[in-house]
A and B are shown apart, each in its own frame.
Chain A
C-alpha cells in the first residue's frame, strides 16, 4: 500500500527582487514527501535548496503553486495558523543554529514547548532531549559557552521538543567539524528511525548515504 505524502509541493515558483534585478529561485518545483522519509535536497549554491526548504517549512510563501502539509493547504493560510502549524508539527534547524543568546541550552530547548505546556512539564522533557544529544552536563550553558557542534545539537533538541512530525534542517553540518557533523547525522538517522520525517539540505556527497531519497535542484528546478 503506497504511503500518503506528508508534504505535497505543486509547481511552486519564487522570485527574489534584488533592486531592479529579478532572480528566479524556484521555477515550478513539484515534489511529494512521504511520511518517515529521510530526504536530502542537494544541488549547487544558488540552485534554490534553501528557498524550497523555507517554503515547505512555512518560513516563506511561494509566489505561485500550492503546498499541502499534513492535509492542510498552507500557502494561503494567515500568519497565526501558520505559526501554530510550525509550533505543533514542524521542527526547523537553521544552518546558523539561531539560538536565543540570553537563554541557557535548557531554556532554548524548553521555549517552543512553553507555548503549549507549563515549565514544570517541559523542563524534564527538555533535559531528556539534551541528554539524548549528549549535552546533559551543559544544561545551564549559554550559547556563547558552547561549541558550534554543541549549539547545533541544542538547536536539534529544540526542534524536537514538541515531537514534530517533520524536521527541516538547512545544512545543519555546514559549520561543524567532521566528528560533530557525524554526530549530528547519526542523530538525524536515529530520529528518522523513531518515526520523524527528516528533510535536510546538504551538498556533501558522503552525507547522502543517510537518506532514503535525494532530490537534486538546479537553477530552481528538480533534475
Chain B
C-alpha cells in the first residue's frame, strides 16, 4: 500500500518535468482566472455590503442608538443620559441629537430637511462627519450661529439630488431657520459635509448652544443618543449592556435604522449568492474540461501503466494529486493576480455609489470556502475521468478499440 503512493508522486513529478510547459502554464492560468472570477464577485459584494453598513454606523446611528421609551417623544436630560451612557463598559463615546422642528430657507428656496442639534465634540467622537468636511470647517460646541450642511442639502453642480436642495449654497452664506412662517434664527454656513452617503448628506446640523439661543427648553432634550462601541466590543454586546443598564431608554442596533439600505444589502447578499453559485459552476465546468481533456489524452499511457502492473489505485491517485496541484497553483496565482492587480486597481478607482465609494473586501472565511471548492472540484475532475479510464478495457485504453 505504501509503495502504491510512491508511484503517483513519481509519475506526477516526471510528467511535470517533461510535459509541455505551455499547456501546464495555460491550465494553471485558466484555473487562476476561474478563481479570480469566483472571488471577484464575492469580494465586490462583500465590500459594498460592509461599506454601506459602515457608512450607516459612522454617519448616522453609531453601533447602537437609544430612543425614548414608548409614550415619550424626547429624552429630557440628554447631557446626564450621555454622561451615564459613557460610564458603561463597552462604550467608546455617546452623543445626543435633538431633531429641530423647522424648515430652512435660502433666498427663494425653502424646504423641509432633517435638522439636528448636536454637541459637535461628542458627535465627532461617534461619527466621522467632521472628517468628511468638503468645504469650510466643522462646528464647535459654543458656535451658536453656525450650521453645517450635508452636500446633498447644499446642492450645486454635480450634486446628485440638486433638485431637492438649496441649489448650490456656499460656506459663509446665511440661511434662515423657520418654524411655521416665522424666521426664528439666521445661521451662517460653516461647512459642507460630504460623507458620500446620500441619507447622511441630506441633513443639517446646528449646535445645542444654537438651539438654546431660540428654544432654551429643547436644548437639553434629545430625540436620539448615538453610541460608538469600544474596540473589540460588538454592537450586539453593547446593546445587551445598555438594555440591562436601566437607562429608561430603548436600545437599538444600528441595523434597526438601516431601513432601505437593509433591504438593498439584503438584495446584494442574494445576488452575491446567485452570482457566486454561477461562478462556482463556471469554475467547476472549466476546470473539469481542462483536466478531463488532459487525462483523456493520456488514456494510452494509462493503459500501458495498467498493462505493466501499476495498480488502478496508484494511477487514480496520480491524477488526483496532479489535479490538486494544478488547483493549488491556480489558486495561488489567482490570489497573486487578485491582490497585486485587481484590488489595487479598485482601491485607486473605487465604485462610486449613492452609499459611498465602494471597494473590494476579502472575507477570509468566504475565501477559504471558495479555495476549498476549487480544490475539491479539481480533485473530482481528476478522479472521475481517471476512474473511468482505469475501468475501461485495457486494450481499449491502449489502442482505442478491440
Give A residues with C-beta under 8 Å from B: 16, 54, 59-60, 79-80, 83-84, 86-88, 90, 92, 94, 98-103, 107, 111-112, 114-119, 142, 158-159, 162
Contact = CB atoms under 8 A, between A and B. Distances in A.
Nearest to A99: B304
A111 B398 CA distance: 17
Contact residues on B (Cβ < 8 Å of other chain), bracket: 20 to 34
A214 B308 CA distance: 26
Main secondary structure on A side of the interface with B: mixed
Contacts of B308: 86-87, 92, 111-112, 158-159
7 cross-chain pairs, A with B, having the tightest CB-CB distances, nearest first:
A87-B309, A102-B18, A86-B309, A98-B304, A112-B308, A102-B15, A102-B14
A114 B309 contact: no
Main secondary structure on B side of the interface with A: helix
Interface stretch (B71-79, B310-318, B370-378): B310-318
Contacts of A119: 6, 10
A60 B395 contact: yes
Contact of A88 (B14, B307, B309): B309
A107 B309 contact: no
Contact of B395 (A59, A114, A162): A59
Q: Which of B10, B11, B307, B310 has the most CB of A within 10 A?
A: B307
A83 B4 CA distance: 13
Contacts of A16: 402
Contacts of B10: 107, 111, 114, 119
A112 B314 CA distance: 12
A34 B304 CA distance: 27
A162 B11 CA distance: 18
B249 to A, nearest CB: 74
A142 B312 CA distance: 25
A142 B17 CA distance: 12
A114 B17 CA distance: 19
A143 B304 CA distance: 14
Given A83-B309, A102-B19, 10 more contacts: A60-B394, A87-B309, A88-B309, A92-B307, A100-B301, A101-B301, A111-B10, A114-B10, A115-B4, A119-B6
Contacts of A54: 395
A115 B309 contact: yes
B22 to A, nearest CB: 15
Q: Which of A101, A102, A107 has the most CB of B within 10 A?
A: A102
B33 interface: no
A112 B15 CA distance: 16
B257 interface: no
B373 to A, nearest CB: 30
Given A102-B17, A102-B19, A142-B18, A115 B311 contact: yes
B393 interface: yes
B110 interface: no
A119 B11 CA distance: 12
Contact of B309 (A100, A103, A112, A118): A112
Interface string B1-41: 00110110011001101110000000000000000000000
Given A59-B394, A100-B304, A103-B14, A84 B309 contact: yes
Contacts of B304: 94, 98-100
Given A59-B395, A92-B307, A114-B10, A83 B402 contact: no
Given A54-B395, A118-B6, A111 B402 contact: no
